[in-house]
Structures are given as C-alpha cells and as structure tokens.
Amino acid sequence: MRPHVFFRQRLRRILLAMMALTLAVVLVNCGGGSEESSTADTAGESAAPAGALVFGSVGQPVNLTPGDITDGNSIYVQQQIYNYLVGNEPGSTELAPELATEWTPSEDGKTWTFMLREGVTFHDGTDFNAEAVVFNVNRWWDPAFEFGYRDAGALYEIWTDLFGGFKGDEASTLVDVRAVDDLTVEFEIKEPFAAFPAAISSGYFGIASPTAVQEDSSYGTPSGAAVGTGPFVFDSWISGDRVTLTKFEDYWEEGMPKVDQLVFSFVEDPAARLAQLRAGTLDFTTDLTPDQLTEIESDPNLEAVYRPSFNVGYLGLNPSYEPLATKEVRQAIAQAINKPDIVQAFWGDLGETDGHFVPPSLEDYRNSSVDDYTYSVDEAKSAIAEAGYPDGFDLDMWYMPVSRPYFPNPKPIAEAFAAELSQIGINVNLQTKDWGAYLADRNVAPGFQSFMLGWTGDYGDPDNFLYAHFGPGATQDLGDYQNPELFDLLEQARINSDPAEREALYKQVDAITFDEALRIPIVHSQPLLAKRTALSGWDPSPFSSEPFVAVEKG
Amino acid sequence: MGRYIFRRLLQLVPVLLGISLLVFVFLHLIPGDPAVTMLGDRATPDAVEKLRERMGLNEPLPLQYLSFLGSLLTFDLGSSIFTGVPIADEIRLRWPATFELSVVAMLIALLIGIPAGVLAAVKKNSWIDNLTMTGSLLGVSMPVYWLGLLLVYLFAVNLQWLPPSGRTDISTAFSSVTGFFIFDSIIQGDFNALIDVLAHLVLPAITLSTIPLAIIARITRSAMLEVLSQDYIRTARSKGLKELKVIGKHALKNAMLPVVTIVGLEFGTLLGGAILTETIFSWPGIGSWIYGGILQRDYPVVQGGVVFVAFVFVLINLLVDLSYALLDPRIQYK
C-alpha cells in the first residue's frame, strides 16, 4: 500500500477513536445535565479560613431535619445548628435552661408549662416564640400537618418510640400542644410522665425556623436549608465530604460561640481518623477504639478525652430456653464470668463494671445494697448442679458482627465469655449474623438463647434505660418475660413526679433486675475521644454529642 | 466501523438489564433490611413493620423491580432511602472524584509498569528482571489498606510532606465547575489550587496504583518476550535498525495488544470504586458510597450505583476493543 493512503487510513482510525473517547466521556458525565444545577456544591467551593475548627465525624448526617433522625452523626451536627427546649449542664445529664427558662407540671401531672426565653432569633432573622415551638411539635406529632412533608418520605419514627404514637393514635402520650402566649407553651399529656421535659429535649428534637421549613421542601437535605437558633449557622453540606458551619453573630448566649467556623469532616475509619488528627487536618474527633489509647498518649500533640459513660453493655439470657428459665442458673452464669478481669483486659481504664443496669451518672437511682455477683467458679458450678445440671449444658451465645460503643470488639469478648463458662461445664456455641438481621431476629420468637447487646441513653432519666429493657412490651427478646411486680414499679415510676419517690421506686427496680439476672451488665464504657492539645472548652456529654459553643483553639 | 460501534452500544441494553436484575435479586436476598438498620438498637418488630410500610418495602418484589426498571429508562435512578438525595446527583458529584483518582493511578501504573516490563523482558534473567518481577509480586500481594495507612503515617503524620486525606485542604478556596479538579484548576489559572489538588492525589494514587502496576509490568514482560522471539524482530535487527527502534517501534507496539486488554480491565476495576483507598483517604468517590449503601441496605444507592459502574465498564471495554484496530492494522471492524 502506498504510504499516503496508509497514513490516511491510520488518521481516520485515530480520529474515530478520539470521537469514541469523547462520546464516552460526554455520555458518562451526562445524566443530571452538564449545566451547573442548583443542587449540592462540588467540593472545595466553601472554604474555611485557617482558623476554622475541624471535627472528625464518624460519618455524614442522614439529614438535618429535627425529629426525622435517629443516628448520632445527624444529632451531632444538629446540636450545633439548633437549640432545644431544655439543655444539659456541660458534661452532665442534669437539665439546664435553654430555649425554655422554666418548666413546671400541673397538679395532676398531665400538663407541662414551659416559659420561653426572650429575645431569641432564628438564623434567618425571624423571631423564636411559642408559635414556633408548636409548629415544630406538630411536624413531629401530627401526620396531617402540611409541613411535616410526610409525602416526601419524612417518617419521624423516633417520636413514636419516645412518645407512644402520633396524633390520633390510641397510644400517643401527647394529647395537645398550644401556645398560651408569645413566650408560654403548654403540653397536655395523657398520663403523668415525669421525664417529659428531658424526653422532649433529647437530641432529636431541635427547634427549627417555621419560615425556613415552610419555604423549602428540601429542608434538611444537602441542597436545602437548615435554620435554627443554635450557635452555628448552616453554610453548606458536601455529600460524602463535609458540613461547614459559621458563627451565629446574634446567638443569645453572650460571647458564644468561640470560633468563626466549624467544619464536620466525615472520616469513617477510626485508624484514618487518628492519623488525620495526628497530622493536624483534624482538631478533635470521637469514637476511637480502646487500643488506640497508647498511640494517643504517646503523641505530645494529642490528648485523650473521655466521654462520661452513659451506656451499658450486657449479656442477655432468654428464660424461654430451658436451662435459663431457672433464676439460679442465670445467677450462676453471672458468677462464672470474671467481669473485672475481662473489663480490664478489653477496656482498660475506659470501662467500669458493676451489677447495675443504669450507668454511674444515674447514681441516685442505684440501690446501694446491690453490688455485684462475686466471681467464683466453684459456687457457680455447685449452683447449676443443684439446679439440675450437674454435667452442664449447651448454650447458644450471639455476638454482634460490628463494633459498638459499649462493645468495641465483640468477638474476642464473646470468646472470653465462652472460655469462662466452659469452666463450669457450659458448652458455649458462638454465633453471629448480619447486624440488621441480629437486631430484628432477637425479637422474633423464640429469639436468641443468649446474646450480647447494649444501650446508650437518649436522655438523662433512668426510665430511658429501665422501661425500655424491663418494661411491659420491652421483653420480646427475653422470650416475652413477664414480671408483674417489675412492670408495676416501672409504670409507677414513670408517672410519679416526686423525685424522692421516684428514686425509691427505681432502687427497688435495680434490686429486682439484679436478682433476676436476665440482662447481666458487663460494662459501662467510656467512649474514647481525642483532641489536639491547643484545643480547649470541650466538655463531652454523656449523650454521645454536645454543642461546641465553648470550644476554641489556641 | 461506525456500524460496529453502534451495534456494540446496542449490546449495552441487555447487559445492563441483566446486571440490574442480578443486583436487585442479590440485594433482596441479603438478610436485614433498611428499616432495621435505620432504627438500630431500638428496632422492635412493631416499629420495623411500620417503617417498612412507610418506605414502601412491602410491595411485591416483582413490582419493586419493575418500578426500578421504569425509573432507569427515564434516567431517574430514584433517591437514597436514607438521605433523600437523588442518585443521579450523588453519582454526578462523586464520579469525578473516582475518575480523577483512577486516571492518575492508571497513569502511574502505566508510566512505571510498561517500561519496567519492557526492561525486564529485554534484560531477561538479569538482576533487573528479577528485581522487577519480585517487585511485581510484592505489589500484588501487599494489602492496600495496610499500604495506604503506612503511606499516611510516613508522609503525612511523621514527615508532614503530604496531606493525609481529602481532595483539597479545607482552607483552600477553590470553585470547581466540572468536578475534575486538575482540569478546573488549570483552566482557572489557579496555580496554588493545582498544587494542592496534586498533593492530595499523590498518596491515594500511589496506593491505588500498586496492583495494576504489578500486573501491567508482568503482562508487558510476557508479551514482550513473546514478540522478541519472533522472526520479524530478527529481520528488523538484521536490516540494521537501531536496537531502541527495534524494541520501541516494532516490538512494543505488537506486544501492546494483551497489555491494552489488561489495562482496560484494570481501569474498569479502578473506576468501579476503590473502596479501601477511598476509606483511608476520605476520598468522596463512588466506591465508598456504594459500599455504605450495601451496609445500610440503601437499595436505590446500590442498584443505581452498580448499574452505573457496569455501564462505564462496558464502555471502557468497547474503547479497548476499538483500540485494537489502531494498534494492529490487520484488525478491521465491520
């Protein structure tokens, strides 16, 4: 073939290939339009000045709409943007005034009146008042409320969890909510509920600007608005990357917040979080694992920070399975496990063990005569022999496949339990399954014979721990265990508003749950956090997240 | 040639249909569902059932699949169950991150792998050859997660030469139009941003490139060895051509066919999302997004994401096939 013809053929092929490539690139980048649409920014568009505070978050929020979330990542960001009716003293579960300055129950306990703070505005300039509170509550409680955007998929599942049901449901705790005047809100509830103020102020229920919600049907999504009264204003949310917030100049608390910009950077992997903290691209972070403590302590630029324990990790024993139906057998299991050694080995300084289901910060509700089962292999062995199992028995034990704040390394911990129990003749068969299935199947009869699980409190009241695990309807994973005395005590404590009487009731509950040994508390752990030494003003809350009002660098 | 391309593009349809069906079936075979994952520790059967109703998960499966197919046809891939963000938007945002990272990683793999393979073949059985092949074995055997963390600790934490994560510094003010940061920073003339972007690409790209690099080096070596033993190479040498020209022009081009195939496959794999690398370096790409979707049982994310990745993979393979015609004039497509 003559050279120039050959060349033309080659050229043609090259051009075709380039066209194909261009076509492919164009096709691949279509779908959504090549024009800049108004949806989420591309990374880098919002810049934080060098003085910005950067927090390493475990993952991105599900959304920034109060009431429509249950996950910790969403709550963490929401606590910077929103305020709540009632707040907490820094680092504690004690209630403190926030959007409400006073809250009082009526004589019969069925009406709660909240007096609101004056002079508070939302980030968009609109006034905060009783109407705003009513608007927000209706969004969560009333399925027919137009601005609940339930057609768009908002679910508000957490409301039914904490308050029985929605408006119109038989089981709904709330009967009515009304604005008495600009600064007074009244809640009418079906039955007295002493922990109501704490519950309505838990991290799920931030107060959003009614104007902003009404104007934006994509409120709370990465491309929408999120407007509250909190210390930080929502600036942008780059999906999968970060959320950027700026200081609210007109925040009602004098001199707060301390920093001009706050960035939540999403880093899922704990090893990566620690590496970034050490490299300085993060200023502070949360949810590190106990084995990272030595690394933090060895780095002069870092300091370990401990979140007050507000959780419990326990071993559940299902009495609907034969050997466990006998209380003495369950107690023997508690005696056969060397909890102090196990907790020391797996948690070090980050864990405490005792016989109480509620964590140490709820000490007013712990019965002082309850200590713990003393570790004794001999006593345990003779106890199960007496109960009719001299040769021991087989036990299915389920552990979760994911790391939890209360059980950071479930499998080795389960193996430790199995080793201990084998000493008294109990042959443990370790099992696990997918986390989602684990949570669902334990409640499907007959449930798991024994299982590891835990709980982090939603609000600072023992009801949140005890009713949710030992109350009527809460024992499905324990083979629907019934104990009328226990149920009665829990119901009474729930509606009683006298603090001294409640304490007494819960102490009785403590003694019973200890004796029954159905959910053996293994540990109350302190999640490990860390910060660079230049950071100050960070007082982690027992509730897994807190506002960063007082945090500053340098 | 045009008709060939058109026919190949038509083949996309049954391929994508098959993949969408497979993904749908597998997703629904996995135990656990989004409702339980959403409710977490507080999932009681009652709450789960109510949530499932509201999320429309109780529709018969064939109906759910059909509605998914329907939405595919209108390019409406639905929205994430968890965040409500439209899938198409998520892909549009995350795809450039993965693409840019994959391209740079591939470039590294090619620029080092091919010369290494050629050298190993030309100097067969020498110390260079052994070194390259051992290095190749190491590259393919090293756990990516471990290597990535190692690089971060060495260069970002200890030496502090390079940033440990992300695509840009949090304090870099830089506005991107296309999502391809290298491209954008160049056309905007923002030199500082370009340096920042490149600095952030170094560690993840190196981490990601090790496996393709190792494979490419190996394949290049084998292909070169095969070609170098051919008669026409002897002819070229005896014609008096310089050795460099013999290797570079005659041998290499003919050895490229199998290499291009592998490059295409590897590139397709990289574009599927480098989950481990993206996790360590907090890289906001497709891989970690789909992986998160699987963990949370966020069906639309996984379905939309996987179908998209399959689409890209098929396109890449088409390009690879077309490139054969470029490399070997004997190959023609009708």
> So what's the pLDDT on residue A15?
64
In this prediction, residue A4 has a pLDDT band, given cuts at 50, 70 and 90, of low
In this prediction, residue B44 has a pLDDT band, given cuts at 50, 70 and 90, of low
> So what's the pLDDT on residue A35?
34
> So what's the pLDDT on residue B302?
87
User: What is the value of pTM for the model shown?
Assistant: 0.78
> So what's the pLDDT on residue A21?
55
> So what's the pLDDT on residue A157?
81
Strands of A206-250 (E only): list them: 232-238, 242-247
- The per-residue pLDDT for range A422-465, each reduced to its tens digit, is 999 999 999 998 777 788 788 888 899 999 999 988 888 899 99
Query: Which of A315, A494, A320, A477 lies closest to B43, judged by CA?
Result: A477
What average pLDDT does range B226-246 have in this prediction?
A: 83
> Which candidate in B92, B147, B151, B154 is best for mutational testing of the A interface (most A CBs within 10 A)?
B92
Kindly tell me if the per-residue pLDDT of B56 is higher than 70.
no
pLDDT above 70 covers what percent of chain B? 93
Closest-CA distance, B261 to chain A, in angstroms, reads 16
How far is it, in rounded angstroms, from Cα A402 to Cα A434?
9
**Burial A326-338, CB ≥16 within 10 A → b, else e:** beebbbbbbbbbb
Cβ contact A42–B54 (<8 Å): no
> So what's the pLDDT on residue A31?
36
User: Which has more confidence, B325 or B15?
Assistant: B15
User: Which has more confidence, A396 or B42?
Assistant: A396
Whether residue A44 contacts residue A217, with contact meaning beta carbons closer than 8 Å, is answered with no
Which residues of chain B neighbour A283 with C-beta distances below 8 Å? none
User: Which has more confidence, B33 or B192?
Assistant: B192
What average pLDDT does range A46-60 have in this prediction?
A: 75
Window from B120-134, B219-233, B310-324 with minimum mean pLDDT: B310-324
Closest-CA distance, A314 to chain B, in angstroms, reads 13
A-contacting residues in B 114-133 (Cβ below 8 Å): none
User: Which residue of B lies nearest to A57 if distances are taken between CA atoms?
Assistant: B282
Helix (H) or strand (E) holding A271: helix A270-279
Q: To 5 degrees, how large is the angle CA B37–CA B41–CA B43?
A: 65
Residue in the block written with tokens 């095969």:
B226
Kindly tell me if the per-residue pLDDT of A473 is higher than 70.
yes
Amino acid at B142: M
Three-state DSSP class for B306?
Answer: helix
Cβ contact A17–B323 (<8 Å): yes
> So what's the pLDDT on residue A39?
34
Kindly tell me if the per-residue pLDDT of B20 is higher than 90.
no
**Residue B70: burial class (beta carbons within 10 Å; 0-12, 13-18, 19+):** exposed
> So what's the pLDDT on residue B4?
80
Q: To 5 degrees, how large is the angle CA A213–CA A214–CA A215?
A: 95
User: Both tokens of residue A250?
Assistant: 């007109």
User: Which has more confidence, B86 or A215?
Assistant: A215
User: Both tokens of residue B165?
Assistant: 């994560």
Instruction: Using alpha carbons, list the distances in angstroms from residue A373 to A376, A381, A514, B77.
Output: 9, 14, 9, 56
Window from A222-236, B24-38, B315-329 with minimum mean pLDDT: B24-38
Average pLDDT, whole number, for chain A? 87
A-contacting residues in B 88-107 (Cβ below 8 Å): 88-97
In this prediction, residue A287 has a pLDDT band, given cuts at 50, 70 and 90, of confident
Kindly tell me if the per-residue pLDDT of B119 is higher than 70.
yes
Cβ contact B281–A16 (<8 Å): no
Three-state DSSP class for B33?
Answer: coil
Cβ contact A440–B89 (<8 Å): no
Counts of helices then strands in chain A (DSSP H, E): 17, 21
Cβ contact B5–A20 (<8 Å): yes
- The per-residue pLDDT for range A403-427, each reduced to its tens digit, is 888 898 899 999 999 999 999 999 9
Three-state DSSP class for B280?
Answer: helix
What average pLDDT does range B176-184 have in this prediction?
A: 83
Count the alpha carbons within 13 Å of A48 in the hemisphere toward its beta carbon. Answer: 28
> So what's the pLDDT on residue A419?
95
Closest-CA distance, B173 to chain A, in angstroms, reads 5
Report residue A11: phi and psi, to 5°.
-60, -45
Please name the member of A13, A43, A153 whose beta carbon is closest to the beta carbon of B176: A43
Whether residue B299 contacts residue B23, with contact meaning beta carbons closer than 8 Å, is answered with no
**Residue A422: burial class (beta carbons within 10 Å; 0-12, 13-18, 19+):** middle
Whether residue A58 contacts residue A286, with contact meaning beta carbons closer than 8 Å, is answered with yes
CATH topology assigned to domain A72-215: Dipeptide-binding Protein; domain 1 (3.90.76)
What average pLDDT does range B44-49 have in this prediction?
A: 68
Which residues of chain A neighbour B325 with C-beta distances below 8 Å? 13, 17
Q: CB neighbours of A340 closer than 8 A, spacing ≥ 6? A: A353, A375
Instruction: Give me Rg for the CA atoms of chain B.
Output: 24
Sign of CA dihedral A447, A451, A452, A454: positive
Kindly tell me if the per-residue pLDDT of B223 is higher than 70.
yes
User: Which has more confidence, B302 or A337?
Assistant: A337
> Which candidate in B28, B74, B82, B83 is best for mutational testing of the A interface (most A CBs within 10 A)?
B83
> So what's the pLDDT on residue B257?
85
SS (H, E, C) A118-150: CCCECCCCCECCHHHHHHHHHHHHCCCCHHHCH
- The per-residue pLDDT for range A316-362, each reduced to its tens digit, is 999 999 899 999 999 999 999 999 999 999 988 899 999 999 999 89
- Report yes or no: B76 at the A interface, CB cutoff 8 Å: no
Q: CB neighbours of A481 closer than 8 A, spacing ≥ 6? A: A319, A320, A475, A518
Please name the member of B167, B281, B329 whose beta carbon is closest to the beta carbon of A43: B167
pLDDT above 90 covers what percent of chain A? 62
Kindly tell me if the per-residue pLDDT of A29 is higher than 50.
no
Chain centre distance of CA A203: 9
Across the A:B interface, residue pairs with CB atoms under 8 Å apart total: 224
Kindly tell me if the per-residue pLDDT of A152 is higher than 90.
no
Q: In 10 A of CB B317, how many CB atoms?
A: 17
Query: Bridge-partner residues for A104, per DSSP?
Result: A113
- The per-residue pLDDT for range A215-271, each reduced to its tens digit, is 988 888 888 899 999 999 999 998 778 899 999 999 999 889 999 999 999 988 888
Average pLDDT, whole number, for chain B? 84
Count the alpha carbons within 13 Å of A17 in the hemisphere toward its beta carbon. Answer: 18
How far is it, in rounded angstroms, from Cα A41 to Cα A239?
9
- The per-residue pLDDT for range A36-48, each reduced to its tens digit, is 333 333 333 334 4
What average pLDDT does range A90-99 have in this prediction?
A: 90
Chain centre distance of CA A260: 27
> Which candidate in A8, A11, A13 is best for mutational testing of the B interface (most B CBs within 10 A)?
A13
> So what's the pLDDT on residue B325?
75
How far is it, in rounded angstroms, from Cα A294 to Cα A282?
19
Which residues of chain A neighbour B41 with C-beta distances below 8 Å? 439, 453-456
Query: Which of A269, A274, A270 lies closest to A295, judged by CA?
Result: A274
Kindly tell me if the per-residue pLDDT of A384 is higher than 50.
yes
How far is it, in rounded angstroms, from Cα B305 to Cα A31?
13
Instruction: Give me Rg for the CA atoms of chain A.
Output: 27
Residues A1-57+240-303+544-554: name the CATH superfamily: Periplasmic binding protein-like II (3.40.190.10)
> Which candidate in B76, B93, B190, B194 is best for mutational testing of the A interface (most A CBs within 10 A)?
B93
- The per-residue pLDDT for range A109-120, each reduced to its tens digit, is 899 999 999 999
> So what's the pLDDT on residue A17?
55
Cβ contact A434–B32 (<8 Å): yes
| Residue boundaries of the structural domains of chain A | 1-57+240-303+544-554, 72-215, 309-525
Reported ipTM: the value is 0.73
In this prediction, residue A16 has a pLDDT band, given cuts at 50, 70 and 90, of low
Amino acid at B99: F
Which residues of chain B neighbour A49 with C-beta distances below 8 Å? 171
Cβ contact A152–B84 (<8 Å): yes
Cβ contact A223–B85 (<8 Å): yes
> Which candidate in B170, B314, B315, B317 is best for mutational testing of the A interface (most A CBs within 10 A)?
B170
What average pLDDT does range A279-295 have in this prediction?
A: 90
| CATH 3.10.105.10 holds for A309-525 | yes
